[in-house]
Amino acid sequence: MLMQSQNQVQTKTPAEQEAMRRAGRLAADVLDMISAKVRAGMTTGEIDRICHDYIVDVQLAVPAPLNYKGFPKSICTSVNHVVCHGIPGDKVLKAGDILNIDATVIKDGFHGDASRMFMIGEPSIQARRLCETGFEAMWRGIRTIRPGAHLGDLGHTIQGFVEGHGYSIVREYCGHGIGRVFHEDPQVLHYGEPGTGLVLEAGMTFTVEPMVNAGKRHVKLLGDGWTVVTKDHSLSAQWEHTVLVTPEGFEVLTLGAAERAAA
């Protein structure tokens, strides 16, 4: 289990937490906006262009992935057996595909990071169940968050739920602290043992983003240096929220409009 020192993990001041709320809301708004436009026949490059223009021209914000360590686009688009970090391009979406769109927005120096699964047309029963299991796994992990809890509690909860449904959890990629920096401590593993790992404190902000494979957990990195796929070519699904640890428990900073209305 990865060990991290408490003093390596920043807690955010009330003003910084408010800035994180604004950035998180913008990331959610990007996903809300694009959800009405995603359809069979469009390319992932078109989705990237629409999101880029919305972030820059409407939100007056910055798409964090663009040029981040050389990443060439403004969002990540991961289709079917792509686990994460898919580069938008000429890939044409077709009915039955499942698609993860991962959007990170910088506003006033702070990052908001979220991703969702989109089902193109009518997906297979297997694909739908995989997406639903990944969504529920994320939320079960989030509901463990409170001051005094351990990150191992979160990872154990997600792992147990996913593996109990016959799926597997990717271990090479994980959630992360976030704030003024895109990726900061702590690393948030989606597997683990209860009572181990970092003890959570109010003011911490990090992402919860389990990657769930229909087959085995093993992945490989493609030659572009970014795209991660399942080794066995099985489907993969991922959902992501940015979360703030509060004195009472947690606050999800990247809820979409429908989720905010229902809360």
Does the structure show a pLDDT above 60 at 5?
Answer: no
- Domain coordinates of the chain in residue numbers? 10-262
Instruction: Report CA dihedral (104, 88, 188, 31) to the nearest 10 degrees.
Output: 40
CATH of 10-262 among 3.60.20.10, 3.30.70.100, 3.40.50.150, 3.90.230.10: 3.90.230.10
Q: In whole angstroms, what is the distance from residue 261 CA to residue 263 CA? A: 6
Residue-wise pLDDT for 41-59, tens only, equals 999 999 999 999 999 999 9
Does the structure show a pLDDT above 90 at 1?
Answer: no
How many CB atoms lie under 10 A from the CB of residue 203?
18
pLDDT-based confidence at 263, cuts 50/70/90? confident
pLDDT at 6: 52
Antiparallel, parallel or unpaired: β 236-238 and 184-188: unpaired
Average pLDDT over every residue of 59-87: 98
Q: Are 210 and 256 in contact (CB under 8 A)?
A: no
pLDDT at 171: 97
Of all helices (H) and strands (E), which one includes residue 158?
helix 151-164
Q: In whole angstroms, what is the distance from residue 36 CA to residue 105 CA? A: 19
Q: Are 251 and 24 in contact (CB under 8 A)?
A: no
- The mean pLDDT value of the chain amounts to 96
Does the structure show a pLDDT above 90 at 8?
Answer: no
Does the structure show a pLDDT above 50 at 25?
Answer: yes
pLDDT at 13: 98
Does the structure show a pLDDT above 50 at 216?
Answer: yes
Does the structure show a pLDDT above 60 at 3?
Answer: no
- How many residues make up the chain in this entry? 263
Average pLDDT over every residue of 191-202: 97
HEC-encoded secondary structure of 99-138: EEEEEEEEECCEEEEEEEEEECCCCCHHHHHHHHHHHHHH
